[in-house]
Structures are given as C-alpha cells and as structure tokens.
Amino acid sequence: MDMLHDFFDYLCVVLIIVNAALFIYSYKENRRNLSYRLFCMYLIISVVINLFVIILGSYKINNLYFSHYYFILQFILLSLFYRTLFIKNQKQIVSAVLVTVVGILSIQYAYSPELYFKFNTTEVFLTCFPIVVYAMIHLYNSLNKSPKYLYINAGILIYLATSTLIFILGDYLSGSNTGAVNNIWLINKVLYATYLALILTEWWKNFRLIKNK
C-alpha cells in the first residue's frame, strides 16, 4: 500500500516537472497566446509549491500553509486563463468573481489570521468551485466551434470537482491516519496524476508540432 502511495507521489512530481518543462519548451512559439502564458505560469507555480512542500515535508516542518498559496494562486491563474477563453459577458463575470473571492478571503484572513496554519474549508470551496463552473462554461462554449484546451479542461473538471470534496474534508482527514483515510488520499493522488497526464496529452496533441509547421 505504501509502495502505491510512493509510486503516485513520484509519478505526480515527475509529471508536473515534465509538464512545466514541456510547456516552457514550447513557450517561444506560443508566447503571443495569453491563455498559454497563463497556463504555463500556473504549471511553474505548481512545480515550485510542490517542491517546497516536498522539501519541507521531508524535514518534518509544517508545510500546511502552502496549501493557501496553492489554492489562491491556482484560483487567480486559472480564472485569468478561462477569462482569456471566454466571450465578452462571461469575461465580466470571471472578473467579478475573482475580485469578490479575493476580497472575501482577504477579509477572512484579516479577522482570523490563525486560519493561516490550518486547512481553510471556505477557501477551498471558494477557490475551486468557480473554476469547475468555468470549466463547464468552457465546454458549453466549445459546443459549436473547434475546442481549445479540451484535455486540460476535462482534467480540471474531473480533478477539481473531486479534489474539492477531499480538501473540504481535509482538516478532518488530516487529523486521523487510518487505512480508509489513506485510501482517500490515494484517490486524490491518482486523480491528480490523471489531471497531469491530461495536461501532458494536451501538449502532445496541440503544442508539440507547432515548431515543424
């Protein structure tokens, strides 16, 4: 069982580094594409946060507060990413949601700074749910035109919808360490690996060959 955990841990780290490297590799050809730049930035930040979490974890230092950076930066970057893909009215909605959520979270942290060292359920919900909705809106938008970022979008929809539930109960789960809880974390890792594999597929299908065109 531990081996399986370790395997998916390593797989996720390898995949996220490979993804970031590949997207940086194709950056030059796509530098005019704003959505590509934003997604690239998201991948780089994910790598950095992941590496910090792993390094701190290996020294047994508390790394839980990195989750806040992860969720908030993910929310901001993916919101901006979807904003570039949306049509006019939808862009305004994304901007409004972005400002509102960041506002609510700032107020929350200002009033109760101790949340910084805990798992913040409100934050998880507020930062993940809008992204899942954006993914669905993007699917709807793509119905009658050639879809962009289809694989990434499917990955975001699957991973964020499920992982949100896991992270909402994250505080409760991190308290216990039974086999069942471990299984939940394993499911999360498998889903994250799937998400990363879908990002890799996206690069392979849509950005790999641009150089040869």
Partner 1 sequence: MVEELQVNQEQIIDALVYGLIFLLLTALGIILFFFYSRRKIVKKEIEKFNTKLEHQNKILQTTIKVQEEERYRIAQDLHDAISSKLNVVSLTTNVLLEDSKIKNIHREALDHILDITTQTLESTRKIAHKLLPPILDKFGLKVALKELFDEFTSNTNIKITSDIDTLGFLNKNSALHLFRITQELINNALIHGYATHLDINLKKTNDGFVLVFKDNGKGFDINNNSKKAGLGLQNINSRVSILKGNLKIESSSQTGSKFTINCKSYAL
CB of 90 to partner 1, least distance (A): 17
- Which of 56, 73, 184, 197 lies at the binding interface for partner 1 (CB under 8 A)? 184
Q: Which CB, 113 or 179, lies closer to partner 1?
A: 179
- Which of 122, 183, 204, 205 lies at the binding interface for partner 1 (CB under 8 A)? 183
Q: How many residues does the chain have?
A: 213
CB of 77 to partner 1, least distance (A): 21
* CB of 32 closer than 8 Å to CB of 84: no
CA-based torsion, 189, 195, 197, 203: positive or negative: negative
Within 13 Å of residue 164, how many CA atoms lie on the same side as its CB? 19
CB of 29 to partner 1, least distance (A): 26
Size of the site for partner 1 (CB under 8 A): 24
Token pair listed for 30: 């796509």
1 part of the interface to partner 1, by CB under 8 A: no
* CB of 82 closer than 8 Å to CB of 94: yes
CB of 177 to partner 1, least distance (A): 11
Chain positions 108 to 167 lying near partner 1, rule: CB under 8 A, are 136, 139-140, 142-144, 147, 154, 157-158, 161-162, 165-166
CB of 122 to partner 1, least distance (A): 19
d(CA 211, CA 25): 10
Q: Which CB, 48 or 184, lies closer to partner 1?
A: 184
Q: Which CB, 29 or 171, lies closer to partner 1?
A: 171
Contacts of 35 (CB under 8 A, 6+ apart): 81, 84, 85, 148, 149
172 part of the interface to partner 1, by CB under 8 A: yes
62 part of the interface to partner 1, by CB under 8 A: no
Contacts of 198 (CB under 8 A, 6+ apart): 151, 152, 154, 155, 158
